[in-house]
Amino acid sequence: MFSFFKKKKTVAHIKLSGVIGNAGKYKQGIDFAGQEEIIKKAFSLKKASCVAITINSPGGSPVQSHLIYSFIRQEAKNSKKKVIVFAEDVAASGGYLISCAGDEIYANSSSIIGSIGVIYSSFGFTELIKKIGVERRVHTAGKNKSTLDPFLEEKNEDIERLKNIQLDLHKDFIDVVEKSRGTKLNKSEVELFSGEFWSGSKAKELGLIDGIAPEFLENLMWKKFSKEMKREIRTKGIINLKHGEYEYPITYQLIKDGRKNKILNKSINENLKVTMIHGKKDKSVPQIYSKKLLKIFKNAKKKLVLIDNGDHSLSSKKWLRILIKELKLII
């Protein structure tokens, strides 16, 4: 049977947020048990051309980080789907390890990226319990069972044993990063595996990520265009992308600028009527940008219309009627 309707490509999205390993029914966090079914479902979507993962995590359990990383790579291999990772505020330590599951990694210029290292921290209470008159009593079967007990004096052999474990974990982490990033890594400038972390901009220079968000927008949109579309947008400077029964004008400058909003630095002095229509549920563009955009029209009669249930597309018939009404008032 032949289909006369062109199938729309979709992108499956997974959001990972919180400390890794500290998750439960009533706790916010990331662990393998809580994410396994979500990851499976994302990769099983037949219509999905790729899987996008947004991550916002300072790290946590190395075991849970490895489990999630390995499972994402396994599902990507089985489904033959590309994985694109977006780092939000932070993708550090275990958060960055999971990010390495992506074929491409993108971040904001101000994101915190890296911290490729292993840490153990605790407190020592030996002096405190002496002062308050508390006696510590420990009975073990196995001489190393009380290793690093915070109420006992530290032993050099315990510290040495811990260091060896940390080195093993660190090597595993480094292996994941080198396998994921390969020749993209720039090791000549700084020590990448010291546990240091960097801004998104610096992380790009070091090869830890592939680009900053606006560059991703440019690359992604440009890749979706055919040769004819690229020729048209270069010639005319604008192209109308069709989505269902609607069309969206995309300018060449928008693709180049991404989300930098360079236009907000301009000033328009013509005497115009300008109406901005903004969906209150728009998660892509905050209302503040619509307000800022209105400010560039110095001498215009300005109006901001907020649609209570509107999202980024504003594509329902009800919202279109409001748009048409506003356009008629302007005309």
**Distance, CA of 263 to CA of 289 (rounded, Å):** 11
Q: Mark which of 179, 194, 218 sits at the end of a domain.
A: 218
Do 26 and 158 have their domain in common? yes
11: β partners: 50
Type of residue at 213: A
Type of residue at 74: Q
39 located within any domain: yes
Type of residue at 81: K
**Distance, CA of 279 to CA of 282 (rounded, Å):** 5
134 located within any domain: no
* CA 141 to each of CA 148, 160, 319: distance values in angstroms, whole numbers, following the listed order: 16, 21, 72
Average pLDDT over residues 251-277: 62
Question: What's the pLDDT score for residue 313?
Answer: 58
**Distance, CA of 256 to CA of 253 (rounded, Å):** 5
Q: Mark which of 174, 192, 218 sits at the end of a domain.
A: 218
For the record, the structure tokens of 41 come out as: 């479902």
Question: What's the pLDDT score for residue 214?
Answer: 61
68 located within any domain: yes
**Distance, CA of 212 to CA of 204 (rounded, Å):** 8
Q: Which domain holds residue 184?
A: 10-121+150-218
* CA 270 to each of CA 263, 267, 273, 302, 304: distance values in angstroms, whole numbers, following the listed order: 16, 10, 9, 12, 18
pLDDT in tens, 216-254: 555 555 555 567 766 776 777 666 655 444 455 566 655
Do 203 and 67 have their domain in common? yes
pLDDT band at 179 (very low <50, low <70, confident <90, very high): very high
112: β partners: 90, 199
Name the residue with higher pLDDT: 148 or 8: 148
Do 211 and 232 have their domain in common? no
Q: What is the pTM of this model?
A: 0.63
Do 96 and 49 have their domain in common? yes
Average pLDDT over residues 267-292: 72
Question: What's the pLDDT score for residue 38?
Answer: 92
Do 165 and 259 have their domain in common? no
pLDDT of 177 above 90? yes
pLDDT in tens, 17-61: 999 986 655 567 899 988 999 999 999 988 888 898 999 999 999
41: domain CATH number is 3.90.226.10
Do 202 and 253 have their domain in common? no
pLDDT band at 4 (very low <50, low <70, confident <90, very high): very low
